[in-house]
C-alpha cells in the first residue's frame, strides 16, 4: 500500500473495473481510478452509530491535489471523532441550501471582509438585480451552466457588466465548493465565454471643456448648484482622480503646501494624488464645522453620495448629453497623452496598478514612429522638394 502522491495517482493506469489505491499515511483515505481514467479521492469511515460512509472528496486536478484532498480527509476524520458525520451533513446542506442562501453567505463571510465597499456595492447589485431574481430559488447543486447562459444573455445590452456578473458568480461558486455546499470541480462558470468588451473612450474636446467651465461658473453665479458639486467636477477634471476617491476624501489628507492628497486606501491601495491647479478650487471651498469631508453632502457630517442627478443637470446645461462623470478622468488622461507624456507617467498619475490598463490612451498621444517619420520627411523634403 503506497503513500499517495501526485506521481503515484497520475501514473496508475485505468483497468477494466474501478481500481482503488489506499493511502499508507491515513486510514480510509484513497483514490478510485475508473476505467475511463477519472481519479476520484474519497474517505471511508464509520459514524458513531456504526454506519459506514464512503463520500467522494473530488476528482484529482490542479485545484484538488493529493495533498489538498488529504487535508480535507483529515478535517472530516476530526469531525467523525467528535461524533459528526461530514457526509450526512453535506448531503443535508446540499439538499436545503439555495443559491439565495449562498449569495447571502458570500456577502457576509467573504465580500464584506475581503473586498472594498465599492466592490461590495457592485456584488450586491449583481446579486439583487440579476442572480437572486432568476436563480435564487435553485438549490446550490442544481445551478447549471445553462442557468449562467440565461443570466449572461439577459445582460447582453451591457456586455461589460454581464461579464463582471459572471466573474462574481464564479467566485461565489468557487467558495461554495470550499464550503462544501457543492461538489468539487463543478463550478458552472469555469471557462465560460464572455462577451467581447469595447471600453467606452469618450473624451471632452477643448470646446466641450470650455463649455463645461462656463456652465459651472454660470450655475455658481445664479446659485443653482451646490459649490461642492461644482468643486467635485473641477477636481475630477484637474486631477483625473476616480469619483469615489474624491467623494470619500477628507481635509486631513490634504497637504496644501505640497499640493498633495494622500489617500490611505483606494482601488489600488494607498495612493497620492497631485492636486496641481485643483489647489485653487480647494482654497475657495468653504469648510463645514464637524464635517471632515471635502465634498460635503446633505446629511450632517457626511460626504456627498451618488451625485448623478446633479451631474445630469450640469451636463444638460453644458450640452454634454452622453458624457459620464468617469469620462472626466478619461479626458484628463487624454490631455496628458496628447501632450506627449509617457504611458508610465500617465499610469502613475491615474493610479493604475498595471501599465496595460493605461495603454488604451497610447493611440491618442504623439506616436514616436509618427514623430520620427515627420522629422525625416521634413529633412528629406527640404532637399528633394526644395522646401
Q: What is the pLDDT of residue 331?
A: 86
Cα dihedral 55, 61, 66, 67 sign:
negative
**pTM tops 0.95:** no
Average of per-residue pLDDT across 171-183: 89
Interval 356-361 mean pLDDT: 61
Q: Determine the pLDDT at residue 91.
A: 58
What is the DSSP secondary-structure string of 100-164?
Answer: HHHHHHHIIIIIHHHS-HHHHHHHHHHIIIIIHHHHTTSBGGG--HHHHHHHHHHTTTSHHHHHH
Structural fold of domain 6-93: Double Stranded RNA Binding Domain (3.30.160)
pLDDT tens readout for residues 252-307:
999 999 999 998 877 667 788 889 889 999 999 999 999 999 999 989 999 998 89
pLDDT digits (tens, 9 = 90+) for 193-203: 999 877 667 88
Average of per-residue pLDDT across 28-42: 92
Predicted local distance difference test score (pLDDT) of residue 130: 95
Q: Is the pLDDT of residue 370 over 70?
A: no
- Weakest-pLDDT range from 58-62, 79-83, 88-92: 88-92
The model's pLDDT over 101-115, given as tens digits with 9 standing for 90+, comes to 999 999 988 998 888
Dihedral angle over CA of 136, 138, 142, 146, nearest 10: -60
Mean predicted confidence (pLDDT) in 70-75: 90
Q: What is the DSSP letter of 250?
A: B
The answer to whether 9 and 39 are in contact (CB under 8 A) is yes
Share of the chain above pLDDT 90, in %: 48
Average pLDDT on 74-89 reads 83
pLDDT of residue 345: 75
- The CATH class of the 97-178 domain is mainly alpha
Name the pLDDT band for 92 (thresholds 50, 70, 90): low
% of the chain exceeding 70 in pLDDT:
87
CATH fold, domain 206-361, is hpI Integrase; Chain A (1.10.443)
- The per-residue pLDDT of the chain, averaged, comes to 85
- Residue 185: left if φ>0, alpha if ψ -120 to 50, beta else—which one? left
The confidence score (pLDDT) of residue 189 equals 94
For residue 31, the model assigns a pLDDT of 94
Which pLDDT band holds residue 181 (cuts at 50, 70, 90)? confident
- 225 or 322, which is more confident: 225
If you compute the radius of gyration of the chain from its CA atoms, what whole number of angstroms results? Answer: 29
Among candidate residues 97, 91, 93, 92, the one with its CA nearest the CA of residue 135:
97
Q: Work out the pLDDT band at 128, boundaries 50, 70, 90.
A: very high
Domain boundaries, the chain: 6-93, 97-178, 206-361
Amino acid at each position: 500500500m503506497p503513500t499517495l502522491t501526485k506521481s503515484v495517482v497520475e501514473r496508475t493506469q485505468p483497468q477494466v473495473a474501478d481500481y482503488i489505491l489506499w493511502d499508507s499515511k491515513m486510514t480510509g483515505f484513497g483514490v478510485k481510478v475508473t476505467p475511463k481514467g477519472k481519479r476520484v479521492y474519497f474517505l471511508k469511515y464509520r459514524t458513531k452509530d456504526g454506519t459506514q460512509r464512503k463520500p467522494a472528496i473530488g476528482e484529482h486536478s490542479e485545484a484538488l491535489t493529493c495533498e489538498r484532498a488529504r487535508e480535507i480527509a483529515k478535517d472530516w476524520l476530526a469531525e467523525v471523532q467528535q461524533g459528526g458525520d461530514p457526509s450526512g451533513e453535506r448531503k443535508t446542506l446540499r439538499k436545503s441550501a439555495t443559491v439565495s442562501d449562498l449569495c447571502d453567505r458570500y456577502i457576509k463571510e467573504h465580500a464584506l471582509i475581503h473586498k472594498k465597499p465599492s466592490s461590495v456595492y457592485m456584488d450586491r447589485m449583481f446579486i439583487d438585480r440579476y442572480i437572486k431574481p432568476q436563480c435564487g430559488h435553485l438549490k446550490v447543486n442544481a445551478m447549471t451552466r445553462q442557468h449562467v447562459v440565461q443570466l449572461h444573455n439577459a445582460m447582453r445590452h451591457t456586455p461589460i457588466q454581464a461579464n463582471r456578473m459572471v466573474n462574481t458568480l464564479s467566485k461565489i461558486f468557487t467558495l461554495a465548493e470550499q464550503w462544501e455546499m457543492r461538489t468539487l470541480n463543478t463550478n458552472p462558470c469555469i471557462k465560460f465565454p464572455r462577451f467581447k468588451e469595447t471600453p467606452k473612450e469618450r473624451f471632452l474636446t477643448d470646446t466641450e471643456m470650455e463649455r463645461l467651465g462656463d456652465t459651472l461658473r454660470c450655475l455658481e453665479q445664479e446659485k443653482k448648484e451646490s459649490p461642492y458639486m461644482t468643486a467635485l467636477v473641477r477636481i475630477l477634471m484637474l486631477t483625473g482622480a476616480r469619483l469615489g476617491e474624491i467623494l470619500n476624501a477628507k481635509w486631513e489628507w490634504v497637504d496644501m503646501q505640497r499640493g498633495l492628497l494622500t489617500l490611505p486606501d483606494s482601488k489600488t491601495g494607498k495612493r497620492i494624488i497631485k492636486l496641481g491647479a485643483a489647489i485653487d478650487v480647494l482654497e475657495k471651498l468653504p469648510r463645514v464645522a464637524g464635517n471632515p469631508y471635502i465634498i460635503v453632502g446633505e446629511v450632517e457630517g457626511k460626504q456627498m453620495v451618488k451625485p448623478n442627478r446633479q451631474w445630469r443637470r450640469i451636463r444638460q446645461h453644458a450640452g454634454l448629453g452622453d458624457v459620464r462623470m468617469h469620462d472626466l478622468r478619461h479626458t484628463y488622461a487624454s490631455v496628458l497623452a496628447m501632450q506627449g507624456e509617457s504611458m508610465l507617467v500617465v499610469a502613475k498619475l491615474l493610479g493604475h496598478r498595471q501599465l496595460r490598463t493605461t495603454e488604451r490612451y497610447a493611440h491618442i498621444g504623439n506616436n514616436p514612429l509618427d514623430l520620427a517619420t515627420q522629422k525625416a520627411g521634413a529633412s528629406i523634403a527640404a532637399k528633394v522638394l526644395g522646401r
